[in-house]
Amino acid sequence: MAVLTNIIDFGMNVQQAVEAPRWLHGGVRPGDPPDFFNLEGRIAGDVTKALEAKGHKVKVLPAFTQVMGSIQLIMLDPKSGALWGAGDPRADGVALGY
């Protein structure tokens, strides 16, 4: 959902959207409490402080962690018919199109 939001709402191209820092509300591993925000370290700092100031619990995870999931993406541009591909640095793989 975050990747789609980055493309649709923030106008990112597919590679920018795939590489963008991710966040997740709730536990990412069995036994994790469900009431905190997980943030990739690349968006911590001021964001962490702002969330904690509002009473949220925050856990900072490593940058490009696979815990946030990974995606390989191919998007068809409806106007030009071009295929745009993106590979996620969080995992092995590549997006291919022809």
- Domain presence at residue 89: no
> pTM here?
0.78
Domain count along the chain: 1
- Domain presence at residue 74: no
CATH code of the domain in which 44 resides: 3.60.20.40
- Domain presence at residue 39: yes
Decide if pLDDT at 81 tops 70: yes
Q: Residue 18: give the domain boundaries.
A: 2-68
Q: What is the C-alpha separation between 46 and 96, in angstroms, rounded?
A: 37
- Domain presence at residue 77: no
Q: Which amino acid is at 5?
A: T
Q: What is the C-alpha separation between 53 and 34, in angstroms, rounded?
A: 19
Q: Give 6-38 pLDDT, tens digit per residue.
A: 999 999 999 999 999 988 888 777 777 777 888
